[in-house]
Copies of this chain bind each other. A is one copy, B any other.
Amino acid sequence: MLNLAQATDPGWVQRALADLDEVLIDHAHCEKKAASTAVSLLFRYPERHELLEPLSQLAREELEHFELMLGHLDRLGIRFYRQLPSPYAGELMKAIRPNEPERAVDTLLCLSLIEARSCERMKLLADALEEPSLRELYASLLASEARHHQTYVDLARAIEPDVDVRGRLRELAQHEASVIAASPEMPRMHA
């Protein structure tokens, strides 16, 4: 369902739990970044009307999650601060073809894979965490991530109905698997 080519290495969740504060802060940054990326596409594709309302709604939901994460950080006494991001998203996006409409399709599919990876990892966190309200948080968020994954795939199909979106998604999922496997072992959602 998530279209990922490779499951997360079992060591990731142990590393995440060992440096949980850093991972929670990174997760807040990821929600903010997801909102910002969706908003940036509203500027890049104003004439792609089928994208506008779904992307705006998605950005609002990511901002709600950002606020939710800030609330949890506050509750746990963890200070939010600027972090060095994981190279994951930048490396993943290098596979985007430069010309339109391929650029639009690839961008949407890369974003769908980021959501899919987030969803997979939130499930791992929901199962492994001991603090009840963090378990509950991740159990609730992973459903949104799965939905966002599907929204991005649907949008790619909507803007280019004649393109083999399914085939391209498989190719990009292979690339995503190699990017995540090569990521440095940082305490991050996507590392």
Chain B residues whose C-beta falls within 8 Å of the C-beta of A57 in the assembled complex: 63, 67
Closest residue on chain B to residue A57 by CB atoms: B67
Closest residue on chain B to residue A36 by CB atoms: B39
Interface residues on chain A, size class = 20 to 34
Cβ B39 vs Cβ A32 within 8 A: yes
Q: Which of B36, B39, B53, B66 contacts A67 (CB 8 A)?
A: B53
Chain B residues whose C-beta falls within 8 Å of the C-beta of A63 in the assembled complex: 39, 56-57, 59-60, 63
How many angstroms between the C-alpha atoms of A39 and B64 in the bound complex? 12
Query: Given A67-B53, A82-B47, are A32 and B42 also a contact pair (CB < 8 Å)?
Result: yes
What DSSP secondary structure best describes chain A's contact surface? helix
Tell whether A49 is near chain B: CB-to-CB under 8 Å.
yes
Query: Given A53-B67, A70-B52, A70-B53, are A35 and B47 also a contact pair (CB < 8 Å)?
Result: no
Chain B residues whose C-beta falls within 8 Å of the C-beta of A35 in the assembled complex: 39, 59
Closest residue on chain B to residue A64 by CB atoms: B60
Provide 22 A-B residue pairs closer than 8 Å at the C-beta atoms, listed in order of the A residue: A29-B46, A32-B39, A32-B43, A32-B56, A35-B39, A35-B59, A36-B43, A39-B39, A39-B63, A42-B66, A47-B81, A52-B66, A52-B70, A52-B80, A53-B70, A56-B63, A56-B66, A56-B67, A57-B63, A57-B67, A60-B60, A60-B64
| CB proximity of A183 to chain B, nearest CB, Å | 22
Interface pairs A-B: 6 shortest CB-CB: A60-B60, A56-B63, A46-B82, A60-B63, A36-B39, A56-B67
